[in-house]
Amino acid sequence: METALSIVLGIGLAAACGFRVFVPFLVVSIAARTGHLVLGPSFTWMSSTPVLIGLAVATALEIGGYYVPWLDHLLDVLATPAAIVAGSVLMASVVTGVDPMTRWFLALIAGGGIAGAVQALTVGTRKVSLLSSGGIGNPVVATGELFGSIALSILAITLPLVALALVVWAMFLGIGLVVRRVGGGGADRA
């Protein structure tokens, strides 16, 4: 049961990486440092003071960057592969009760996969915002992504099963919206 919960926790944290790369790391670092989260033995470095300070600075820069019109696009280009790596690393840091090969396999497939999927949906949302508002709506999207990353990170640590349910629901909703958007555009032309 503990292994299954750690996998669910990892999926929630990986999904949060799809919204913002550094926010989940900062939340995990704080939670580990305060004793609310136990990291795998090879990941205890994440709760050290230098890492905590570095993550706080990186998080602040990432958050600020998404409010600069041209920089948000550049960050999306960089964040897509970074989110996959971050989701994999965060999942590996919390999965317990399995051998290292299985842990990294799960981390790469489930953690990297879910982080990449969420990141793709956020990039799509930003593109829709850009095309429909000329970029004026992008700060609203950036704020929603920020709060989504914070809330999902905290929820994954405190209520992992609720976080998983939210991730599954959001993925179905997001994919459904994309399918309707793409499918609806083709139907209008017919």
**Which residues have a Cβ under 8 Å from the Cβ of 93 and sit 6 or more positions away?**
10, 28, 39, 40, 43, 46
- The structural domain count of the chain equals 1
pLDDT, tens only, 56-81: 999 999 999 988 877 887 888 888 89
* DSSP 8-state assignment for residue 143: H
pTM: 0.87
Q: How far apart are CA 50 and CA 39, in angstroms?
A: 17
Residue 185 banded pLDDT, cuts 50, 70, 90? low
Question: Nearest to residue 93, comparing CAs of 31, 10, 3?
Answer: 10
Q: How far is CA 125 from CA 28, 71, 74, 157, 179, in A?
A: 26, 16, 15, 26, 13
What is the domain extent for residue 27? Answer: 2-189
| pLDDT higher than threshold 60 for residue 2 | yes
pLDDT, tens only, 135-181: 788 888 889 999 999 999 999 999 999 999 998 898 888 777 767 76
